[in-house]
Amino acid sequence: MFWIKIYNLFGKLGCMRIYENVLVEIISKQNVPKHVAVIMDGNRRAAKLLGIEATNGHQLGANKVKDLIEWCVLLDIKVITIYAFSLENFNRSDDEVYTLMKLFEKEFENLSENKYIYEKGIKVKAIGKLEKLPEKVRDSIEKVEKLTENNKNYYLNIAISYGGQQEIIDAVKNIAKDVKDGNINIEDINEELVSKNLYTKDLPHPEPDLIIRTSGEERISNFLTWQSCYSELYFCESNWPQFRKVDFLRSIRDYQKRNRRYGK
């Protein structure tokens, strides 16, 4: 009975790997999104289902980011943006916010020491109201940004202390200052100018082609509010820590089946 269970387990795993390889082969020959953004939802729910502390759920979620990066590189997806912590998340309990900040500090440090980041030429950047973060977190962010600033093959953006509406407000303030200083005229304000004042302005592909949200929730939650106006949306039932490679590949396959008309 024991060996039958082992055979069944590894047999299923083998079939899943074959299925994943087939999906990769099919996907890579078609239109692959240039920019994929992910709302990583469900860490606390996953922890509850697993009977572990919420802290451990957040750690599992952080570990899953490494998998996501590798999956995107495998498909040559150039830009990845992940929603790690919103401005509204500061309203959580002091203990949870403190725990998350310590986790972010550690994970940014890990990124700065991750050989894979340098081997693949991945540029890491944090976007959001970074001044609201603890000093040690900002120091860790500054370190990895400095070390990867010349990497140009792939771009990993981590939205932390981030709000889409606040990003637009900051862009409007920048534009208003330029008008006040006489650098531009009001008539110069258009979509392109607004985009050039957003946190994502330096990316080769600022607007995400595909936004994935895990945990079954079907909303954007103030994420890339301006940039997502024509993004394709994909909602997955899996909580973020349990998000599998096959789930990711299915989201890309679903994207490739859609007809993107951009309002035409």
Q: What is the pLDDT of residues 77-130, one digit of tens each?
A: 999 999 999 999 999 999 999 999 999 999 999 999 999 999 999 999 999 999
Please determine, for residue 10, whether its predicted confidence score (pLDDT) is greater than 80. no
**Binding-site residues for Mg(2+):** 41, 232
Question: Which of 56, 89, 151, 197 is flagged as catalytic?
Answer: 89
Over residues 189-196, the mean pLDDT reads 97
- Residue pair 235/41 in contact (Cβ under 8 Å)? The answer is no
Question: Cα–Cα distance between 142 and 163 in angstroms, integer?
Answer: 20
Please determine, for residue 242, whether its predicted confidence score (pLDDT) is greater than 70. yes
Over residues 45-59, the mean pLDDT reads 95
Active site residue 63: no
Instruction: Give the homologous superfamily in CATH for domain 31-256.
Output: Decaprenyl diphosphate synthase-like (3.40.1180.10)
Active site residue 185: no
Please determine, for residue 8, whether its predicted confidence score (pLDDT) is greater than 70. no
φ, ψ (nearest 5 deg) of residue 163 = -145, 130
Question: Which of 8, 31, 41, 95 is flagged as catalytic?
Answer: 41
**Binding-site residues:** 41-45, 58, 86-88, 90, 92, 213, 219-221, 232
Please determine, for residue 249, whether its predicted confidence score (pLDDT) is greater than 50. yes
Question: Cα–Cα distance between 151 and 165 in angstroms, integer?
Answer: 29
More confident residue, 199 or 9: 199
Q: Take residue 130 and report the two structure tokens written for it.
A: 């970074």
For the chain, what are the domain ranges?
A: 1-30, 31-256
**Binding-site residues for substrate:** 42-45, 58, 86-88, 90, 92, 213, 219-221
pLDDT at 13: 60
Question: Cα–Cα distance between 195 and 172 in angstroms, integer?
Answer: 10
pLDDT averaged over every residue in the chain: 94
Over residues 57-67, the mean pLDDT reads 97
Q: What is the pTM of this model?
A: 0.92
- Residue pair 193/175 in contact (Cβ under 8 Å)? The answer is yes
